[in-house]
Structures are given as structure tokens and as C-alpha cells.
């Protein structure tokens, strides 16, 4: 196969110029800039939410239940128990991001080494492929159902279920990039030079595979956010009264006709977060694509 831009070993100026080129491409893409700003703001709000939120999340106010958005003191209104929707959305978004990052981290910790091994050692490929098939056979919700049945519903179990479901994707991407890198001259040179397999993997293949891993992680996060929301909505994830965008929607469903804002706003936030990650992931993929201007 022909490779248009030959990845360099991670030393020297080549990788620096490549990085500047990628950053320049990202900066020139307005969608990338907008989505990055949205994500940075969301991260900031999530981190600072315990201080930013105008009310304590579990603080009820039975004198002001179902206050519509725009009510003084409650910008986004209140729910059936008079709890402030804005405060709950802020902390709910924080919980969503926590679960998503935990899940994606889990999938990378397991998936990256397995992907490297499957791509680099022929003998391991078959075994790891069967493992991947096995994971794929259990759809994430069914896996979550099984985990919840065995260990009970919790935030950790939701993150584990979402994370496990993403392992096959990570393995596949890392494996195919390892296969590609393995066939390149600089890896062959390192092997001829007497480098051990572990050294080649850690110093030559992994650093050059980071871009595909990064893209995979960026597109996995919105899937994880949606996964957490689904599980919490069904009662298999974060347990009320702890705020989560999914549990907020589950409660709001019961009084949706009376207080539609409580059912609409958390969904808008979930969609906004997922959309920003997806748009940024697309932009990142385009910026990293050596074929650059094709799309």
C-alpha cells in the first residue's frame, strides 16, 4: 500500500511541524473552533458546578413547584419538587461527563494494549479477535442489564457497561493502525537495530498511533454520554436523587405535559454536548487525514 505521509519516529522536528499543521487546519475550520469553545465552556461549568450552581441540587421548595423558565430566581424554572432546573442540569452534565470520561478511559486501558498485541503479534490476533466477537455479542444495554442484575444499578456499573461496549471499537482501530505502522520502514529499521518487541511497540508504534486513538476517544465520548443518559433514564445508572441528565428526563416524563421545560432542557444539553463532541471529532479526523482536502 502507498502511504502519502510517512509517519516519523517521535523524535526530531517532523512531529512538531506535523502538530502545527494539524492545529492550523483545526483553527481554520470554523466548526472545529465553535465546537471546541462549546466543549471548553461545558468542561469549565462541569468542574465549577458545585460553586456555580445557584441552588443546592436536592434543595426542594414546595411553594414554587413547576415554576416556568424565566421565573425570577429560577432562570430555567423548577421541577415537581420545586428544585432548580439550572442547578440540576449543571451537576447532571458534570455526572454525564464523569461517566463518559471514566467509560472511555476504561475502554482505552483495556483496548489499546489488546489492539497493539493483535496487530503486532500474529499468534495473538485470533484469540483477541474471538474476545472482541464475544464482547460484541452482548449489546451494551443487555450488558448493562446483566451487570445491574448481578451487581445492582449504580454510576460505576453504568460506566463499566458503557466502557466495555466500547472496547471492541478501540481494539479494531488500534489493531489496524498497528498493522499499517508495522509494515513501514522505520519499524523494520528498529527491528534490524535489535530493538525488542516491547520497545518497538512503546517507542515507535504507540506514539504514531496516538492520532487514531485520539479520534476514536473523541467520537466515543458522545456515545458514552448517550449511553449513560439511557441507563440513568431506565433506572440502571445514576440513582436519584443524585442529579443526572438521564434521571431528570425519567422524572420529568411523569409530568411532561404540565412542565415541558423539565423534559426538554436536559435533553437539549445532552444533545448539545454529544453534538459538540461529534463535530469536533469529525474536524479532528479531517485535520489528521493525510489526504486532507478530500472531504
Partner 1 sequence: MARYLITRAWQSALTLVLSTIVVFLGVRALPGDPALALAGEDRSPEALEAIRRHYGLDQPLPVQFAQYVERVVQGDFGESIRTGIPVSSMLSTALPVTAELAVLAILLATALGVGAGVLAAVRRGHPAEWLANGLALVGLSVPHFWLGLLAILYLSVATGLFPASGFVPLLEDPVDNLHHVVLPAVILGTGLAAIIMRQTRSAMLDSLSSDYVRTAKAKGLRPRAVITRHALRNSLIVVVTIVGLQLGGLISGAVVTEQIFGLPGFGKMTIDAVFQRDYPVIQAVVLLTATAYIVINFLVDLLYSVIDPRIRVTGDQS
Smallest separation (angstroms) from partner 1 to the CB of 63? 26
Residue identified by cell 517507542 is 203
What is the rounded distance in angstroms from the CA atom of residue 291 to the CA atom of residue 200? 26
Compute the distance between CA of residue 109 and CA of residue 82 in angstroms, rounded to an integer. 42
Please report how close the Cβ of residue 181 comes to partner 1 at its closest, in angstroms.
15
230 binds partner 1 (CB under 8 A): yes
Q: Contacting partner 1 (CB under 8 A), which of 75, 136, 188, 189? A: 136
Query: Which of 45, 81, 195, 271 is the binder for partner 1 (CB under 8 A)?
Result: 271
Q: Which is nearer to partner 1, 242 or 271 (CB)?
A: 271
User: What is the Cα–Cα distance from 197 to 35, expressed in whole angstroms?
Assistant: 39
Tell me: does residue 3 bind partner 1 (CB under 8 A).
no
137-174: burial string, b at 16+ Cβ within 10 Å, e else: eeebbebbbebbeeeebebebbbbbbbbbbbbbbbbbb
Binding of partner 1 by 256 (CB under 8 A)? yes
Q: Which of 234, 242, 285, 289 binds partner 1 (CB under 8 A)?
A: 234
Assigned C-alpha cell, 100: 463518559
113 binds partner 1 (CB under 8 A): no
Backbone angles phi, psi at 248, to 5 degrees: -60, -40
Q: Site for partner 1 (CB under 8 A): how many residues?
A: 46
- Closest to 266 measured CA to CA, from 98, 100, 84: 84
CA distances 169 to 25, 131, 163, 285, Å, are 26, 12, 11, 16
110 touches partner 1 by CB under 8 A: no
Do residues 182 and 205 touch, judged by C-beta distance below 8 A? yes
Question: Which of 203, 267, 285, 289 lies at the binding interface for partner 1 (CB under 8 A)?
Answer: 267
67 versus 250: smaller Cβ distance to partner 1: 250
In angstroms, what is the minimal distance from the CB of 227 to partner 1? Answer: 8
Q: Is the peptide bond before 158 cis (omega within 30 degrees of 0)?
A: no
Q: Which is nearer to partner 1, 57 or 144 (CB)?
A: 144
10 Å CB burial of residue 43 (0-12, 13-18, 19+) is middle
Query: Which DSSP state fits 294?
Result: G
Binding mask 141-180 for partner 1 (x = CB under 8 A): xx--xx-xxx--------------x----------x----
Q: Return the residue of 282, 283, 287, 288 that touches partner 1, per CB under 8 A.
A: 282
**Nearer to partner 1 (CB atom), residue 55 or residue 119:** 119
Binding site for partner 1 (CB under 8 A): 129-130, 133-134, 136-142, 145-146, 148-150, 165, 176, 222, 226, 229-230, 233-236, 249, 252-253, 256-257, 260, 263-264, 266-267, 270-271, 274-275, 277-279, 282, 294-295
Amino acid at each position: 500500500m502507498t502511504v502519502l505521509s510517512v509517519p516519523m519516529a517521535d523524535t526530531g522536528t517532523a512531529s512538531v511541524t506535523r502538530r502545527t499543521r494539524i492545529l492550523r487546519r483545526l483553527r481554520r475550520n470554523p466548526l472545529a473552533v465553535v465546537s471546541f469553545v462549546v466543549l471548553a465552556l461545558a468542561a469549565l461549568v462541569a468542574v465549577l458546578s458545585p460553586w456555580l450552581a445557584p441552588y443546592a441540587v436536592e434543595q426542594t421548595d414546595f411553594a414554587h413547584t413547576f415554576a416556568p423558565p424565566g421565573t425570577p430566581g429560577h432562570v430555567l424554572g423548577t421541577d415537581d419538587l420545586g428544585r432548580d432546573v439550572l442547578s440540576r442540569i449543571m451537576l447532571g452534565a458534570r455526572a454525564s461527563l464523569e461517566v463518559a470520561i471514566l467509560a472511555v478511559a476504561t475502554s482505552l486501558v483495556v483496548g489499546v494494549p489488546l489492539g497493539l498485541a493483535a496487530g503486532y503479534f500474529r499468534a495473538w490476533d485470533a484469540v483477541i479477535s474471538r474476545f472482541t466477537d464475544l464482547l460484541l455479542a452482548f449489546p451494551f444495554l443487555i450488558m448493562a442489564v446483566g451487570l445491574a442484575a448481578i451487581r445492582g444499578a449504580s454510576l460505576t456499573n453504568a460506566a463499566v457497561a458503557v466502557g466495555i461496549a466500547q472496547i471492541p471499537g478501540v481494539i479494531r482501530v488500534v489493531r489496524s493502525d498497528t498493522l499499517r505502522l508495522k509494515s513501514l520502514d522505520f519499524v523494520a529499521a528498529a527491528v534490524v537495530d535489535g530493538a525488542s518487541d516491547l520497545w518497538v511497540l512503546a517507542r515507535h508504534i504507540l506514539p504514531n498511533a496516538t492520532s487514531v486513538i485520539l479520534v476514536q476517544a473523541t467520537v466515543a465520548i458522545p456515545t458514552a454520554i448517550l449511553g449513560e443518559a439511557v441507563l440513568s433514564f431506565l433506572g440502571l445508572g445514576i440513582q436519584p436523587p443524585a442529579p443526572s441528565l438521564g434521571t431528570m428526563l425519567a422524572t420529568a416524563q411523569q409530568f411532561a405535559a404540565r412542565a415541558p421545560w423539565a423534559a426538554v432542557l436536559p435533553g437539549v444539553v445532552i444533545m448539545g454536548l454529544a453534538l459538540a463532541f461529534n463535530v469536533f471529532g469529525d474536524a479532528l479526523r479531517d485535520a489528521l487525514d493525510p489526504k486532507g482536502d478530500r472531504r
